A and B are shown apart, each in its own frame.
Chain A
């Protein structure tokens, strides 16, 4: 199976900060990389699909980039509602999807 590794595992930041989370795949996955946001007690929410496409309704401060094995999620200016856990997920192998371990974004 394709392994997905996120860094950092946790991150403290302030409102207004620019934040970047990285995700690395154990093999090339082209652009089959998605990002999700999850708040406590809630289902995950799709933010970015195909590495860099913004899901409808998601604020433009979220952006994604990368291809092959290395990907990033950037939040340009953190808002209070952005404090959550973020997961990357590969959809290259549709018979065995895998998620990263998650990055918990906390208020500094």
Chain B
């Protein structure tokens, strides 16, 4: 079965760090573009970061310099290292497969999400 399972969320103090994991099954993470998307409580979806199959990485301005996306090919797992966390980073974080087709590009597989709460 093709699926993504996130883990690693929790409560962290402002300025703290957290690493999210996203374990994939049924497909190979390193052969795909993979993204993180977040959703603050009661708010809309916000794209956070992408890692290309070739390894290039890009970030939303709101997290640039604080978050790092990476992957472990041997574990078929995607990560998001979050440092210098702020209250406004509080959200459900989803990982998603970023399917690249012929003239199309869409998030076709999503994990269930993991909640990150930044509060003292």
Interface of A is mostly: loop
How many of chain B's residues touch chain A, expressed as a range? 20 to 34
9-residue interface stretch from B12-20, B65-73, B82-90, B109-117: B109-117
Kindly report which residue of chain B lies nearest to residue A92, judged by CB atoms.
Answer: B105
A-B contact count (CB 8 A): 68
Return chain B residues, CB-CB under 8 Å to A108.
none
Kindly report which residue of chain B lies nearest to residue A47, judged by CB atoms.
Answer: B106
A101 to chain B, nearest CB (A): 5
Q: Which of B58, B101, B104, B113 has the most CB of A within 10 A?
A: B104
A35 to chain B, nearest CB (A): 9
With A97-B50, A99-B44 already in contact, the answer to whether A89 and B107 are too (CB < 8 A) is yes
Kindly report which residue of chain A lies nearest to residue B112, judged by CB atoms.
Answer: A43
Q: Which of A32, A44, A102 contacts B105 (CB 8 A)?
A: A32
The reply to whether A44 and B94 form a contact with Cβ atoms under 8 Å apart is yes
Return chain A residues, CB-CB under 8 Å to B99.
49
How many Å lie between the Cα of A100 and that of B110 in the bound state? 18
Return chain B residues, CB-CB under 8 Å to A31.
103-104
Within A68-106, the residues touching B (CB, 8 Å) are: 87, 89, 91, 94-102
28 contacts between A and B (CB under 8 A): A32-B104, A32-B105, A36-B45, A43-B111, A43-B113, A44-B94, A44-B110, A45-B110, A49-B104, A49-B106, A50-B104, A53-B104, A87-B44, A89-B47, A89-B107, A91-B105, A91-B106, A94-B33, A94-B98, A94-B105, A95-B58, A96-B47, A96-B58, A97-B47, A97-B50, A99-B44, A99-B46, A102-B44
Chain B residues packing against A (C-beta within 8 Å): 33, 35, 37, 44-47, 50, 58, 60-61, 94, 98-99, 101, 103-108, 110-113
Chain A residues packing against B (C-beta within 8 Å): 1, 31-32, 34, 36, 38, 43-46, 49-50, 53, 55, 87, 89, 91, 94-102
